[in-house]
Amino acid sequence: MTEIVNTTGRLPLAIAALALLNGVFNPWLLPQTTAAVILLAPGLLVSSAALVVYLAYLLGALTTLVVAGVPAALYERLSGGRASGFAVCLVWLAATALLTLPAAGMAALLLLG
């Protein structure tokens, strides 16, 4: 485990932070994830609306992680397993950053404007 941390550094933390930012602030993702949570667990709506929103944020962050992981997995597969863990994490970070661009704009608009 420490070998993985030594080779990738803090990149997994940055990937998770960007995915969480995207899950919270993405204006395109929140309506779909909220609807998915309501459809998958209708009993939660009665108990707490805040819980539904929280689960929608988490579902959005998880969706970001999965979708951004596809280019990293393809890069690792196409390199024939010769890619280092650091390079794969950089591809994953770049894909996550690209997916987070709309959320960064919305966060800047809400927090600065």
**pLDDT of 87 higher than 80:** yes
* CB of 47 closer than 8 Å to CB of 33: no
Q: What is the pLDDT of residue 83?
A: 82
DSSP-assigned letter for residue 5: H
Residue 45 — very low, low, confident or very high, per pLDDT cuts 50/70/90? Answer: low
Residue 6 — very low, low, confident or very high, per pLDDT cuts 50/70/90? Answer: low
Q: What is the pLDDT of residue 3?
A: 59
Q: What is the pLDDT of residue 51?
A: 79
Q: What is the pLDDT of residue 67?
A: 95
CA–CA gap between residue 91 and residue 82 (Å, rounded): 14
pTM: 0.82
**pLDDT of 44 higher than 80:** no
Bin 83: left if φ > 0, else alpha if -120 < ψ < 50, else beta. Answer: beta
Element (H, E) at 29: none
51-84 pLDDT, tens digit each = 778 888 888 999 999 999 999 999 999 998 788 8
Cα–Cα nearest to 79, from 66, 8, 71: 71
Q: What is the pLDDT of residue 32?
A: 81
Mean pLDDT of the chain: 85
